[in-house]
Amino acid sequence: MKRHLISAADLSREDAIEILDTAAELASVSSRPIRKLPTLRGRTVVNLFYEDSTRTRTSFEAAAKRLSADVINFSAKGSSVAKGESLKDTALTLEAMGADAIVIRHGASGAPHRLAEWVTGSVINAGDGTHEHPTQALLDAFTIRQRLGGPQQDGDGHRGTGLDGLRVTIVGDVLHSRVARSDVLLLSTLGAEVTLVAPPTLMPYAVSTWPCEISYDLDRELPKSDVVMMLRVQRERMTAAYFPTVREYRRRYGLDVGRMALMPSRAIVMHPGPMNRGVEIAADVADSSRSTIVEQVGNGVTARMAVLYLMLGGAEENS
Amino acid sequence: MSDNSNVYLIRGARVLGGDPGDILIRNGVIEAVGPDLEAGGAQKIDAAGLIALPGLVDLHTHLREPGREDAETVETGTRAAALGGFTAVHAMANTEPVADTAGVVEQVWRLGQQAGYADVRPVGAVTVGIAGKNLAELGAMTDSAAHVTMFSDDGHCVSDPLLMRRALEYVKAFGGVIAQHAQEPRLTEGAQLNEGEVASRLGLAGWPAAAEEAIIARDCLLAAHTGSRLHVCHVSTAGSVEIIRWAKSKGWQVTAEVTPHHLFLTDERAENYDTVFKVNPPLRTRQDVEAVREGLADGTIDAVATDHAPHPVEAKEAEWAEAAMGMTGLETALRVVQEAMVDTGLLDWAGVADRMSVRPARIGGSEKLGHGVSIAEGAPANLMLYDASAGSEAVDPKTHASKSRNSPFAGLPLPGRVYATFLRGVPTVLDGKVTK
């Protein structure tokens, strides 16, 4: 494993499959009566969160604690400038506290890159601006593999396999989505065929250079999708001329029961959360048996355990 | 016994890269240029192999004083200028307070006089507080001791088309020129990096080329309509070059500059979010670099201007979005131009003199002070000596005279070395070091 996990592009196919396989093994821990492994005892993991994100922070916290690491939650809400302490000074402080890994969530794209220059421990990107969110992509890949991967469905049946040939359609605000960037990179590395669907205003410039297909027409993509991933539409986009009204957005890009019927029978619906029910996804779709949304949350802990295990524990075993 | 302290005999210099000859300087004036000159008691400077150019003129320098003396002062900035071969610099108006009154421009001008390393030509703000609302007292700045002829809200665009029209018209009364920072504000809200493949991948808000080109096109039309002089700051895109080429073909009074960094660096440098590469306008693509080089070579772009923008360490040691925009450039400008333009065969040394001295002096009005004039008998002795064959030494910002260290060329091997700079016959730099 690399020292840091900042971009999904840092992961080779072998790296990614190793993480998914490790996650599959660790998943059994979550179903035990005592959900704890001693692997990272004496190691310190700092959750450095510059943005409110209860779900991601608690997911990392649970992952670290199940591996017996000491967890420090360092909440630095607001920009570093507003707070009065620079990211560098915070980094040096955490370094002095002996952080073996720093999990960082930050509103500015690239903040984890900067942090990695100033600390000796591992940096794990838990979402930076509109750049990337690689552990979300890992949990998405894990969920897809579990549901749709490989011919065998028993126990370790998917071990060593990627997502070859699976067709994943990601729908919504790709422009501002760190999840979409990481998903495109990781899922394509694992062999999936990714298609992005959005109004042209929410498609990044030069998106044609990405390893995926582009479409503006959701209805055309749904019949050939194995996975449909709906992205959250941020409230502030609704007033910035990206689309005329929420009503029109829902009509053209929202996933309701009628649209879900266009999908192949075994296809699944995903959402990284938090959802805007009734905007990008209808409530009865979110709650349907095809939805993996709750599963994704559980898999998030498992995938993050695998990352921490391989980055902190694995390194020790190898040396 | 005559005093020979102001007599210099430069031996064997190649004026504009031509054949070697001698240059005799006495009391601030070039007394003679030719082979085998003699002058008893003159201080002799062995310039064998060196190229002699008229002192360089920078149309775009941020000296930061008053207000941000932690980043640069007039003294440190003009020392850096002298070390880069410059004899005149135009100090941009976005200081604190803004140079929008006769008082501030006179202060900056006087600080330049006191420092004595280069002539400081203050640029006046177009609008009060560079806020883009009301015209500053442009006439008062012209009439001041600083004799301002160039006005700019640099850092901000005079985006209001009516205000821009009025500014262009108004300065006709005293032969002034408006230097525009071309950036359509609505199209660049929150912009961080050139809108392209790199910015999209890095998740940084895009700064589209069209936001620069739209303003340049509009301003060229306004300059034509009003018969006024427009100068376009730091041209960075291929489209901008085309628009300016078209405006010039119409005979309109439009001039333009390009920075050394836009001649050399691309947005790919931002890959690791290294904030030293954050600048406004942003680094663009390889095609843009090729286009601005071509524009400079064919004269569409008149001048190389550094946009020297010093920042203290803490302003750059931050997240990309929080970091300050700008890079230093005075001490590396000519070396970059050699690498990008001369060693590539796009420009000869006479061309370099034209784009870095003659034309900028004409645009900024420092011709009258003896800048940008030929190295010839009777001319004021503003000139510099450059060793183009000096081996490619890596740029080390720690050795720079600028107070700031934000050079995007750090660690890059660049050819050439500035050997000496003469301001009115007095060396400000000798053997690559400032003389006082």
pLDDT for res A82: 56
Beta bridge partners of A274: none
Contacts of B408 (CB under 8 A, 6+ apart): B261, B265, B269, B276, B277, B279, B327
Q: What is the percent of chain B with per-residue pLDDT over 90, rounded to a whole number?
A: 97
**Stretch among A39-43, A73-77, B143-147, B206-210 having the lowest mean pLDDT:** A73-77
pLDDT for res A318: 40
Q: 3-class SS at B215?
A: helix
Any chain A CB within 8 A of the CB of B271? no
* Amino acid occupying residue B91: A
- According to DSSP, residue A88 is labeled H
pLDDT-based confidence at residue A78 (cuts at 50, 70, 90): low
Whole-number Å distance between alpha carbons of B23 and B39: 11
Beta bridge partners of B211: none
Q: 3-class SS at B355?
A: helix
CB contact under 8 A, A108 and B199: no
> What residues of B are labeled active site?
307
pLDDT for res A156: 60
Among the listed residues B34, B17, B62, the one whose alpha carbon sits nearest the alpha carbon of residue B376: B34
- The pLDDT of A15-42, averaged and rounded, is 90
Distances from the Cα of B355 to the Cαs of B98, B117, B231, B302, in angstroms? Answer: 29, 21, 14, 6
pLDDT-based confidence at residue A151 (cuts at 50, 70, 90): low
Question: Residue B216: pLDDT above 90?
Answer: yes
Whole-number Å distance between alpha carbons of B168 and B221: 11
pLDDT for res A104: 97
Question: Residue B207: pLDDT above 50?
Answer: yes
Contacts of B149 (CB under 8 A, 6+ apart): B142, B174, B175, B176, B177, B364, B365
Whole-number Å distance between alpha carbons of A229 and A172: 9
B203 CB neighbours in chain A (<8 A) are: 109-110, 128-132, 178, 181
Segment B29-68, tens digit of pLDDT: 999 999 999 988 899 999 999 999 999 999 999 999 999 9
- The pLDDT of B206-229, averaged and rounded, is 98
- The pLDDT of A144-150, averaged and rounded, is 90
B208 CB neighbours in chain A (<8 A) are: 205
Q: Which two tokens stand for residue A161?
A: 């396999």
CB contact under 8 A, A110 and B204: yes
Q: Which of A109, A128, A178 to mutate to test the interface with B (most CBs of B within 10 A)?
A: A109
Residue-range domains of chain A with CATH: 8-132+297-318 (3.40.50.1370), 134-291 (3.40.50.1370)
Q: Is A297:A303 a contact under the CB 8 Å cutoff?
A: no
pLDDT-based confidence at residue A35 (cuts at 50, 70, 90): confident
- The pLDDT of A96-102, averaged and rounded, is 94
Q: Which two tokens stand for residue B182?
A: 């071309």
CB contact under 8 A, B208 and A205: yes
A83 CB neighbours in chain B (<8 A) are: none
* Amino acid occupying residue A241: A
CB contact under 8 A, B322 and A109: no
> How many angstroms from the chain centroid is the CA of residue B220?
22
Residue A97's Cβ-count burial label (10 Å; 0-12, 13-18, 19+) is exposed
Nearest to B203 among A87, A132, A210 (CB): A132
Beta bridge partners of A170: A196, A229
Nearest to B273 among A88, A114, A206 (CB): A114
pLDDT-based confidence at residue A314 (cuts at 50, 70, 90): low
CB contact under 8 A, B203 and A87: no
Query: Phi and psi of B94, rounded to 5°?
Result: -85, 55
Q: 3-class SS at A78?
A: coil
Would you put residue B259 in left (φ > 0), alpha (ψ -120 to 50) or beta? beta
Contacts of A142 (CB under 8 A, 6+ apart): A20, A23, A24, A299, A302, A303
CB contact under 8 A, B320 and A178: no
H/E element, B344: none
Residue B345's Cβ-count burial label (10 Å; 0-12, 13-18, 19+) is exposed
Q: In what order do the strands lie in the sheet with B86-91?
A: B56-61, B86-91, B119-122
CB contact under 8 A, A108 and B321: yes
- The pLDDT of A46-65, averaged and rounded, is 94
Among A residues 1-30, those touching chain B with beta carbons less than 8 Å apart:
none
Question: Residue A154: pLDDT above 60?
Answer: no
Question: Residue A236: pLDDT above 90?
Answer: no
pLDDT for res A36: 87
- Nearest CA to CA, how far is B127 from chain A (Å)? 29
- Is the pTM higher than 0.90? The answer reads yes
Question: Residue B2: pLDDT above 80?
Answer: no
Whole-number Å distance between alpha carbons of B30 and B37: 12
pLDDT for res A319: 36
> What residues of A are labeled active site?
55-56, 83, 105, 133
Whole-number Å distance between alpha carbons of B78 and B110: 13
pLDDT for res B39: 85
Q: Residue B315's closest chain A neighbor by CA?
A: A86
- Nearest CA to CA, how far is B61 from chain A (Å)? 27
Q: Residue B321's closest chain A neighbor by CA?
A: A108
- Nearest CA to CA, how far is B322 from chain A (Å)? 8
Nearest to B322 among A80, A205, A206 (CB): A80
Segment B344-396, tens digit of pLDDT: 999 999 999 999 999 999 999 999 999 999 999 999 999 999 999 998 899 99
Any chain B CB within 8 A of the CB of A137? no
Any chain A CB within 8 A of the CB of B287? no
Question: Residue A152: pLDDT above 60?
Answer: no
Q: What is the 3-state secondary structure (H, E, C) of A113-182?
A: HHHHHHCCCEEEEEEECCCECHHHHHHHHHHHHHHHCCCCCCCCCCCCCCCCCCEEEEECCCCCCHHHHH
pLDDT-based confidence at residue A313 (cuts at 50, 70, 90): confident
Segment A200-229, tens digit of pLDDT: 999 999 999 999 999 999 999 999 999 999
Residue-range domains of chain B with CATH: 7-51+378-434 (2.30.40.10), 56-369 (3.20.20.140)
Q: 3-class SS at B399?
A: helix
- For residues A55-87, one letter each, b for 16 or more C-beta atoms within 10 angstroms of the residue's C-beta and e for the rest, the string is ebbebbbbbbbbbebbbbebebeebbeeeeebb
CB contact under 8 A, A129 and B321: yes
B314 CB neighbours in chain A (<8 A) are: 86
H/E element, B40: none
Question: Residue A79: pLDDT above 50?
Answer: no
Any chain A CB within 8 A of the CB of B319? yes
Question: Residue B174: pLDDT above 60?
Answer: yes
CB contact under 8 A, B203 and A131: yes
Q: Which of A90, A106, A113 to mutate to test the interface with B (most CBs of B within 10 A)?
A: A113
Contacts of A12 (CB under 8 A, 6+ apart): A189
B199 CB neighbours in chain A (<8 A) are: 205
H/E element, B142: helix B138-143
CB contact under 8 A, B202 and A111: no
pLDDT for res A169: 98
pLDDT for res A83: 59
CB contact under 8 A, A131 and B319: no
Any chain A CB within 8 A of the CB of B322? yes
Among the listed residues B73, B70, B101, B69, the one whose alpha carbon sits nearest the alpha carbon of residue B89: B73
- Nearest CA to CA, how far is A103 from chain B (Å)? 16
Question: Residue B436: pLDDT above 90?
Answer: no
Question: Residue B137: pLDDT above 80?
Answer: yes
CB contact under 8 A, B203 and A129: yes
pLDDT for res A315: 46
Any chain A CB within 8 A of the CB of B200? yes
pLDDT for res A155: 55
CA atoms within 13 A on the CB side of A77: 3
Question: Residue B250: pLDDT above 80?
Answer: yes
Segment B300-312, tens digit of pLDDT: 999 999 999 999 9
Q: Is A27:A302 a contact under the CB 8 Å cutoff?
A: yes
Q: Residue B205's closest chain A neighbor by CA?
A: A130
Contacts of A150 (CB under 8 A, 6+ apart): A157, A158, A161
Q: Residue B189's closest chain A neighbor by CA?
A: A240
Q: Maximum Cα–Cα distance for chain A, whole Å?
A: 57
Any chain A CB within 8 A of the CB of B3? no
- According to DSSP, residue B284 is labeled B
- Nearest CA to CA, how far is B272 from chain A (Å)? 7
Question: Residue B6: pLDDT above 50?
Answer: yes
